[in-house]
């Protein structure tokens, strides 16, 4: 039902119709903004539901450059975008729950996946916790939309 797969920038047409509600844009941005990120640093991945792309996320291979709580070789989960038309159906929770099995196949040397999630985004916080992320209890104060919880997921 839910699957994850790499998204090459040449496949942008597959995710062109995916969008968030306007009030969610400050947390994750737009699909175009994700596509515009430098490929040298960010890999894109699709969330597929019933054989149709419904979301995407970025994996930041250089996360420790900007986030000193992570260490060399760790990954960062950035800009999880789930189309507003499929939200509330458990798709995001299921997709995030697949990360611990999916990412080691694509990043065999990574030990930890990190993310920061805005304190005023309780749905996202609950989704990540349900998917196995651990809230470290620390706060990243430099989020573009305000302070954020620091969460991690062991990949090994």
Query: If DSSP codes are grouped into helix, strand and coil, which group holds residue 134?
Result: strand
Name residue 3's beta-bridge partners. 48
Q: What are the tens digits of pLDDT across the range 48-103?
A: 999 999 999 999 999 999 999 999 999 999 999 999 999 999 999 999 999 999 99
pLDDT in tens, 29-54: 999 999 999 999 999 999 999 999 99
Dihedrals φ, ψ of 128, to 5°? Answer: -65, -40
Structural domains present in the chain: 2-154 (3.40.630.30)
Contact 130, 93 (CB under 8 A): yes
Residue 144 scores a pLDDT above 90: no
- What is the residue-averaged pLDDT of the chain? 96
């Amino acid at each position: 039902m839910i699957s994850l797969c790499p998204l090459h920038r040449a496949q942008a047409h597959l995710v062109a119709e995916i969008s968030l509600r306007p009030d969610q844009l400050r947390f994750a941005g737009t699909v175009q903004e994700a596509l515009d990120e430098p490929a040298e640093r960010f890999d894109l991945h699709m969330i597929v539901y019933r054989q149709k792309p419904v979301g995407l996320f970025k994996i930041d291979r250089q996360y420790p450059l900007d986030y000193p709580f992570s260490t060399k070789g760790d990954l960062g989960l950035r800009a999880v975008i789930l189309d507003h038309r499929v939200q509330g159906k458990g798709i995001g929770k299921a997709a995030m729950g697949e990360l611990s099995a999916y990412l080691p196949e694509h990043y065999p040397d990574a030990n930890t996946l990190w993310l920061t999630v805005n304190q005023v985004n309780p749905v996202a916080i609950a989704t990540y916790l349900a998917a196995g992320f651990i809230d470290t209890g620390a706060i990243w104060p430099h989020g573009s939309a305000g302070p954020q919880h620091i969460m991690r997921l062991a990949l090994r």
